[in-house]
Amino acid sequence: MNKQPLRERFPNITRVPHHVGIVMDGNGRWAQARGLPRLAGHKAGTDNIRRVLQAATELDIKVLTIYAFSTENWGRPPEEVAGLMNLLGEVIRRETRDLHANGVCIRHSGRLEGIAPHLQRQIQEAVTLTSENRRITLNVAFNYGGRAEIIDALRHIMRDGHAPEAVTEALISQYLYTGGLPDPDLIVRTGGEYRLSNFLIWQAAYAEYYATPTFWPDFDEVELATALEEYSRRDRRFGKVPQPGPGQAAIVSPQ
């Protein structure tokens, strides 16, 4: 294993995104390619979270949001859903104390409704235990859907009695599951697909998008650093035109 720091190994990383979101896709296909049951792929994918979290910390990413289980995933075969729920409980029991000791703040984005009561308690206990940690935030999107998130935010805004004219983008952002977190700068999707799949659809309005054919269990620190190199090459304009450098003429948008 190469012990050289990632920033030295990848000098072309000139800008580090503050917040990275990852759609962890390809677990099932990873398993099928090896003649294994799909749940073995989910287990390998769950184990890989620690490796990528460590790399993100080394690269000085401050927020890592992982798409662990979507609201649409309830439509998968019951045995696969049960296995995923058991995996989450196992990971919380095994990893929370160590993550806490290493300064990781765990957050949950998604609905608790529909999740077994004992698992709800485990999630809430992990969030509470690590809430004061500041080294990196691991935001776990579990039982999450972007459209459901916006609906929940609007319902909460109405219950709190805000007048229609008081509803702004900033107010809605405050009421999202991710309230208090910066919007993602970079969305990474593994497994070769090119869609957001209802992931952070409000927050990712101006995020850069990076897709890789690598299945999630094989997505390692080199893959993450490669994504950051590509991010460093992007010109983030947020709907504006590039600012001219010294001696350059300004670019005028067509009317």
73, 86, 102, 133: the active-site residue: 73
User: What distance lies between CA 29 and its chain's CA centroid?
Assistant: 21
Of 71, 70, 67, 48, which Cα lies nearest the Cα of 187?
Answer: 67
Per DSSP, the residues of 20-47 read EEEE---HHHHHHHTT--HHHHHHHHHH
Q: Are 229 and 39 in contact (CB under 8 A)?
A: no
Tell me if residue 143 is catalytic.
no
Tell me if residue 25 is catalytic.
yes
12, 25, 60, 98: the active-site residue: 25
Cα diameter, the chain: 64
- The residue type found at 65 is T
Q: What does the DSSP 8-state code read for residue 73? A: G
Catalogue the active-site residues: 25, 73
